[in-house]
Amino acid sequence: MSDNILEIRDLTVGFRTEQGPVEILKGVSFDVKAGEIVSVVGESGSGKSMTSLAVMRLITDPNAMISGTIRYKGRNLPGLSAREMRKLRGRQIAMIFQDPMTALTPVHTIGWQIAEQMRVHLGLGAKVARKRSVELLGKMGIPDPERAYDRYPHHLSGGMRQRAMIAMAISCDPAILIADEPTTALDVTVQAQILDLLQDLRREYGSSIILITHDMGVVSTIADRVLVMYSGRIIEHGAKSDLLDKPQHPYTLGLMRSIPPMTGERPRRLPSIPGSPPLPGKRPEGCSFRPRCEFSFSKCSAVPPLYRCNEQFAACFLAEHGSHQWQRNLAEERTAK
């Protein structure tokens, strides 16, 4: 009955360390619909990459403790055998890594690596695979793709390498593409091209995309829905327009206000969130945003669940009654000043 292609419930990831166990992700739950672009934003260390590695079953650290369910088209990924998972990975669910060298090996040409992916997963013959690889490289805006096919990753600039990895990730038209900061290292002119490509992938093949980014501009350009993470939890999620226009969680609000505007008056001072995000071992009790939150009150010593406010959800006691009252008060207070 559901059109969810991916359903994640209570995903919790921790590590045994010398200082005792450290929880990195705590009870992460979310859905991805077919053909949807979901953006994941949040501060560094909040667990964005860890979430995607868990979905790909690529957390290899023997000290890792992972629980929760990750259902892809109804099948629970953590329950699959290593062999079944290998068949899915790269074919059904593909990933673009924060660092391209995680996905590319230095010992083969980029063209060979892309072709190999298609030979293994799609059973293509060598000739066809080569032809399709060259086409893909061309589609990525790589000049002279015939020649680029025979080049090794270390011969390419960062931007080219990133595009080669994207070509590899989308070579088998995956149902889900997880893109971890795919454009962070790139110039904005190249970034714009890559964002076009991701949108083409969705349009042509109906792929779902999970896009991890710290750039709200990127979010506003291509996302349908947004998840905001803080300290290993999802603290707010909702449709892009709702979330960007009326953030319900004080962290999301602070994040939006901290971004210097590209248009209109330049503020004399940028609004900013005081302090810095806590390290995983040192997260405070209760609401983990509390030490930085200008609205914190007595209730906040407990962990806030996700409350519904209209169509979006926020893990904050201010949203308990689903109202925007506190925001309205804030707005009035600001105009009065």
Partner 1 sequence: MRILNEVSLDVYEGETLGLVGESGSGKSTLGRTLLRLYDADSGKIEFDNLDISTKNRRELRPLRSKMQMIFQDPYSSLNPRRRIGDLIADPIRIHGHASEREIHVRLRELMDMVGLSHSFLTRYPHEFSGGQRQRIGIARAIALKPKFIVADEAVSALDVSVQAQVINLLMDLQDELGLTYLFIAHDLSVVRQISTRTAVMYLGGIVEIGMTDDVMHNPAHPYTAALISSVPSHDSIMSKSPRIKLQGDPPSPLMPPSGCRFHTRCPFATDKCAAEVPFPHDVGSGRSVACHFPIS
Ligand X SMILES: Nc1ncnc2c1ncn2[C@@H]1O[C@H](COP(=O)(O)OP(=O)(O)OP(=O)(O)O)[C@@H](O)[C@H]1O
The sign of the torsion formed by the CA atoms of 42, 263, 209, 29 equals positive
273: how many CB neighbours lie within 10 A of its CB?
A: 18
The C-alpha atoms of residue 249 and residue 234 are separated, in whole angstroms, by 11
Compute the half-sphere exposure of residue 205: CA atoms within 13 Å on the CB side of its CA.
17
Judged by DSSP in three states, 9 sits in strand
- The mark string for 85-104 relative to ligand SF4 (x by CB under 6 A, - otherwise) is --------------------
- Closest approach, Cβ 246 to Mg ion, in A, equals 27
The C-alpha atoms of residue 332 and residue 330 are separated, in whole angstroms, by 5
Q: Which two tokens stand for residue 140?
A: 């990525």
Q: Which does 49 bind (CB under 5 to 8 A by kind): Mg ion, ligand SF4, partner 1, none?
A: Mg ion
Residue reference for tokens 């079953």: 57
Bridge partners of 71? 7, 76
- Closest approach, Cβ 131 to ligand X, in A, equals 33
CA angle 102–106–112, rounded 5-degree value: 100
Please answer whether residues 51 and 58 qualify as being in contact, where contact means their C-beta atoms are separated by less than 8 angstroms.
no
Q: Which two tokens stand for residue 143?
A: 């000049």
User: Nearer to Mg ion by C-beta: 93 or 316?
Assistant: 93
Judged by DSSP in three states, 86 sits in helix
Scan residues 19-58 and list those touching Mg ion (CB under 5 A): 49
209: how many CB neighbours lie within 10 A of its CB?
A: 24
The C-alpha atoms of residue 254 and residue 84 are separated, in whole angstroms, by 43
User: Nearer to ligand SF4 by C-beta: 207 or 231?
Assistant: 231
Give residues in contact with ligand X (CB under 6 A).
Answer: 15, 17, 22, 24, 42, 44-50, 61, 98, 280
Q: Which does 207 bind (CB under 5 to 8 A by kind): partner 1, ligand X, Mg ion, none?
A: none
| Beta-strand pair 208-212/225-230 | unpaired
- Closest approach, Cβ 54 to partner 1, in A, equals 22
Using the rule CB under 5 A, is 184 a contact of Mg ion? no
Residue nearest to Mg ion (CB): 49
Using the rule CB under 6 A, is 28 a contact of ligand SF4? no
Scan residues 237-296 and list those touching ligand SF4 (CB under 6 A): 250, 287, 289-290, 293, 295-296
Using the rule CB under 8 A, is 143 a contact of partner 1? yes
Scan residues 54-113 and list those touching Mg ion (CB under 5 A): none
Q: Which stretch binds partner 1 (CB under 8 A): 68-76, 273-281, 293-301, 324-332?
A: 273-281
Nearest CA-CA partner of 225 in 43, 91, 41 = 41
The C-alpha atoms of residue 196 and residue 224 are separated, in whole angstroms, by 15
- Element at 73 (helix H, strand E): none
Scan residues 316-335 and list those touching ligand SF4 (CB under 6 A): 316-318
Binding-site member from 53, 194, 300, 309 for ligand SF4 (CB under 6 A): 300
Q: Which does 264 bind (CB under 5 to 8 A by kind): partner 1, Mg ion, ligand X, none?
A: partner 1
- Closest approach, Cβ 1 to partner 1, in A, equals 34
Residues that bind partner 1 (CB under 8 A): 43-44, 141-143, 157-160, 186-189, 191-193, 195, 214-221, 244, 251, 254-256, 258-264, 266-267, 269-274, 276-277, 279
Residues that bind Mg ion (CB under 5 A): 49
Residues that bind ligand SF4 (CB under 6 A): 250, 287, 289-290, 293, 295-296, 300, 304, 316-318
